[in-house]
A = this chain, B = another copy of it.
Amino acid sequence: MKKIIKQRSRKAGLPPGSLVHIGEQTGEPVRISIVDYDETSLSERETNDIADCFSQRDQPGVRWLDMEGIHRPELLKALGECYGIHPLTLEDILNTDQRPKLEDFDDYLFVVLKMLSLQPDGSLAAEQVSFVLGPSFLISFQEGFKGDLFDPIRQRLRENRGKLRKGGADFLLYSLMDAIVDYYFVILEDLAERIEVLEEEVIAGPGRKTVVKIQHLKRETIFLRKSVWPLREVLGRLERRESPLVRGETVIYLRDVYDHSIQIIETVETFRDLLSEVLDIYLSAIGNRTNEVMKVLTIIATIFMPLTFIAGVYGMNFRYMPELEWHWGYPAVLLLMLLVSLGMGIFFRRKRWL
């Protein structure tokens, strides 16, 4: 079972700006890729050496520095010093339990998002992605290697498709965020499908595990919601912002992502409504079933109790029971029993139980 919250307590009591990584320790190496591009040229390289990041800082064009794996605080610290990143920002990057947020540090914008991905077993994995947007550079920090959502962007950069190479670092930020937000729709579709399957299961006849499945989906919806609401806030603030780091022509595009985030929120809210409904149907199905069981019991008992009673009466050992001596006594009693059964049947039919 997924943990509800991460073990942030490890950090309680430390001074602010302490760089402690609170996620799991994967042991994998940190991978840094550097892309320098402008409209006409592009150079791309991958490195493990943090010193590479400091070279050639002053060339024109845009530099995109993507760090995958953040479990080595010392690398972050070096990077932060080189690019002038505030210690609190570095702390937030490490602290992978952040909620999505946007902070304006004059020199740079700091954006934290949650990148969701569907795991092979169908569960949701959330990975924190942080962006530091400077005038001519963008640094992205990914928690791990779980997703490869940024690969299409890299491909587009190489092939010089669309506006990407012409835009600045802010347009690159937009493109990456768009890729992340677009992937939310994949997750929504997956959820929608599972809700539909569940709905059909509930109507067909719920089993023992149904309520656990409903609760599971509800839970995923709750978590999804928790990461989407602040996302909207971030995008809304980006879109409204007059920061010189975000240029006017990018704002139109940001408005587009912002609209998507609202659409995601509304869909998540619809999911919540649908799941409540499914639970209602489930509960009424249980109620109905109890009802049906009761009816069977009542019909059986109501038919056989009087019959058994009649049989009991003629099983009594009184010396003087005239009926016992009658020649047609036995058939007469059987007939009586038949009539009683028929009467009961008519009674139940009238009550619409049969």
Contact = CB atoms under 8 A, between A and B. Distances in A.
Contacts of A308: 304-305, 308-309, 312
Interface string A256-279: 100100110011001101100101
B211 A281 contact: yes
A88 B330 contact: no
Contacts of A302: 296-297, 300
Contacts of A319: 324-325, 327, 329
B281 A215 contact: yes
A36 interface: no
Given A99-B262, A301-B305, A320 B315 contact: no
A53 interface: no
Contacts of A163: 15-17
A178 interface: yes
B290 A287 contact: yes
Interface in A321-341: 321, 323-327, 329-330, 333-334
B212 A281 contact: yes
Contact of A192 (B5, B12, B255): B5
Q: Interface SS of chain A: helix, strand, loop or mixed?
A: helix
B293 A291 contact: yes
A215 B280 contact: yes
Contacts of A306: 300, 304
Contacts of A325: 319
A311 B309 CA distance: 7
Given A1-B196, A99-B259, A281-B211, A324 B318 contact: yes
| Integer count of this chain's copies in the complex | 5
Interface stretch (A61-69, A136-144, A179-187): A179-187
Interface in A205-262: 205, 208, 211-212, 215, 218-219, 222-223, 226, 252-253, 255-256, 259, 262
Interface residues of A, number: 120
B182 A11 contact: yes
A203 interface: yes
Contacts of A4: 192, 195-196, 267, 270-271, 274
Contacts of A108: none
Nearest to A15: B162
Contact of A15 (B17, B175, B199): B175
B86 A252 contact: yes
Nearest to A186: B9
Nearest to A317: B324
Given A5-B267, A266-B226, A308-B312, A12 B317 contact: no
A327 B318 CA distance: 9
Contacts of A352: 205
